[in-house]
């Protein structure tokens, strides 16, 4: 099995290749034509071999690079192509909210799987996106990677900033054998949220080290408000852990100002990237495709 790391996921791709027993690893040669178009070329002897392409789609350019990589790998004569998209963009638009809109998650799924034999992603915005694929599609979780890291830290209580994250925080709580609860969140607009303790009551947090667990940090609005609320109510320390650290604009600095530590997995390059999903992705590849 060969592993090719797209420019958005080079480090993670290399980690996956190591997890696969030092599978041959390469990165494409890329350059921009004067009109801005992307040129790329994959090296190595891929003919008749299985190839894993790893490329998150943080930007539209990353997506285009992924599609070109898939075509290049097919042209190189690969036996099977497994496409790993650690951060799968456009997944929030997983249905048509208003007439005239696309189901963006479906549109991307169709294009990404076109030249793939299977697709692997991590913590999709909604698992429903998996139903848009016609080829085998797998969703790894970022929770085991974060749990491996948090096991070495002081953690008293785990908190989800919203009810949508209950399954996630519960899974983390099971892995770390710690109590948990979820806050009530009301989104005011894309950057602002209101958070409150649930009316059903919570665990005492005075002096405790509380770790917020989320799937994605984008503007940071959710984590900043959650950390402030927890500290106002006496938490001794508040850390934030997420699978996908997008950290738009000054999000990282704003979160840093109100938390004690920030943890993210390596699905996207960012300053909080401290846990790797490579073992979890390699495990799926080895389990499903090493025949
Ligand atoms: C919401 O459903 C998600 O789990 C995240 O809490 C949210 O997307 C984070 O966004 P932001 O960082 O912009 O508040």
Measured in Å, residue 142 CA sits from the centre of ligand 1 at: 15
**Residues 25 and 55 sit within 8 Å (Cβ to Cβ):** no
pLDDT tier for residue 51 given thresholds of 50, 70 and 90: very high
Residue 202 pLDDT = 78
Token pair for residue 285? 């590849």
Which residue in this structure is represented by tokens 């090493």? 290
Angle formed by the axes of helices 60-75 and 104-113, nearest 10°: 20
CA-to-CA dists, residue 217 to 87, 140, 144, angstroms = 12, 18, 18
Question: Which ranges of the chain would DSSP assign to H, the alpha helix?
Answer: 10-19, 60-75, 104-113, 143-150, 166-176, 221-232, 251-258, 278-289
pLDDT tier for residue 44 given thresholds of 50, 70 and 90: confident
Q: Please state the rounded mean pLDDT for residues 203-209.
A: 93
C-alpha closest to that of 222 among 200, 204, 242, 236? 242
For residue 139, the surrounding DSSP H or E stretch is strand 137-140
pLDDT tier for residue 141 given thresholds of 50, 70 and 90: very high
CA atoms of 102 and 93, how far apart (whole Å): 8
Known catalytic residue: 231? no
Q: Please report the atom of ligand 1 found closest to the CA of residue 191.
A: 13
Instruction: Give the distance, in angstroms, between the CA of residue 191 and the centroid of all CA atoms in the same chain.
Output: 20
Q: What's the angle, vertex CA 145, arms to CA 162 and CA 66, rounded to 5?
A: 90
DSSP 42-95: --S--TTSEEEEE---SSHHHHHHHHHHHHHHHHTT-SEEEEEESS-TTTT--S
Reported as a single tens digit per residue, the pLDDT across 54-103 is: 999 999 999 999 999 999 999 999 999 999 999 999 998 988 999 999 99
Strand-strand pairing, 157-160 and 137-140: unpaired
Reported as a single tens digit per residue, the pLDDT across 268-284 is: 999 999 999 999 999 99
Q: What's the angle, vertex CA 178, arms to CA 173 and CA 182, rounded to 5?
A: 60
Q: Which of 182, 214, 243, 264 to mutate to test the pocket of ligand 1 (most atoms within 8 A of CB)?
A: 214
What are the pocket residues of ligand 1 if the criterion is a CB atom closer than 6 Å to any ligand atom? 161-162, 164-165, 214-222
pLDDT tier for residue 188 given thresholds of 50, 70 and 90: confident
Answer yes or no: is pLDDT of 116 > 80.
Answer: yes
**Residues 119 and 67 sit within 8 Å (Cβ to Cβ):** no
CA atoms of 269 and 12, how far apart (whole Å): 9
Residue 19 pLDDT = 98
Residue 158 pLDDT = 98
**Residues 55 and 62 sit within 8 Å (Cβ to Cβ):** yes
Q: Which of 189, 217, 245, 252 to mutate to test the pocket of ligand 1 (most atoms within 8 A of CB)?
A: 217
pLDDT tier for residue 192 given thresholds of 50, 70 and 90: confident
pTM of the prediction?
Answer: 0.95
Q: Please report the atom of ligand 1 found closest to the CA of residue 165.
A: 4
Reported as a single tens digit per residue, the pLDDT across 62-72 is: 999 999 999 99
CA-to-CA dists, residue 16 to 20, 41, 53, 185, 253, angstroms = 6, 21, 10, 36, 30
């Amino acid at each position: 099995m060969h592993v090719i790391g797209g420019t958005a996921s080079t480090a993670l791709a290399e980690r996956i290749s190591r997890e696969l027993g030092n599978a041959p690893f390469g990165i494409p040669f890329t350059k921009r034509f004067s009109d801005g178009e992307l040129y790329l070329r994959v090296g190595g002897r891929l003919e008749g071999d299985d190839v894993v392409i790893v490329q998150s789609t943080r930007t539209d350019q990353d997506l285009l690079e992924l599609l070109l990589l898939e075509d290049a790998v097919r042209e190189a004569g690969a036996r099977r192509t497994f496409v790993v998209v650690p951060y799968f963009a456009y997944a929030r638009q997983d249905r048509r909210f208003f007439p005239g809109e696309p189901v963006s998650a479906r549109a991307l799924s169709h294009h990404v799987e076109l030249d793939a034999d299977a697709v692997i992603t991590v913590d999709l915005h909604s698992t429903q996106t998996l139903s848009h694929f016609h080829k085998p599609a797998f969703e790894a979780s970022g929770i085991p990677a974060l749990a491996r890291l948090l096991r070495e830290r002081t953690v008293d209580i785990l908190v989800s900033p919203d009810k949508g994250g209950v399954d996630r925080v519960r899974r983390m709580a099971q892995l770390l054998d710690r109590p948990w609860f979820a806050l009530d969140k009301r989104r005011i607009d894309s950057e602002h949220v209101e958070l409150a303790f649930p009316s059903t009551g919570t665990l005492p947090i005075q002096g405790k080290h509380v770790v917020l667990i989320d799937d994605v940090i984008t503007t940071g609005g959710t984590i900043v408000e959650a950390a402030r609320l927890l500290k106002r109510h006496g938490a001794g320390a508040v850390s934030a852990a997420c699978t996908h650290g997008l950290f738009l604009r000054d999000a990282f600095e704003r979160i840093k100002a109100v938390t004690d530590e920030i943890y993210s997995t390596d699905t996207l390059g960012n300053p909080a990237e401290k846990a790797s999903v490579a073992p979890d992705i390699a495990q799926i590849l080895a389990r499903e495709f090493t025949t």
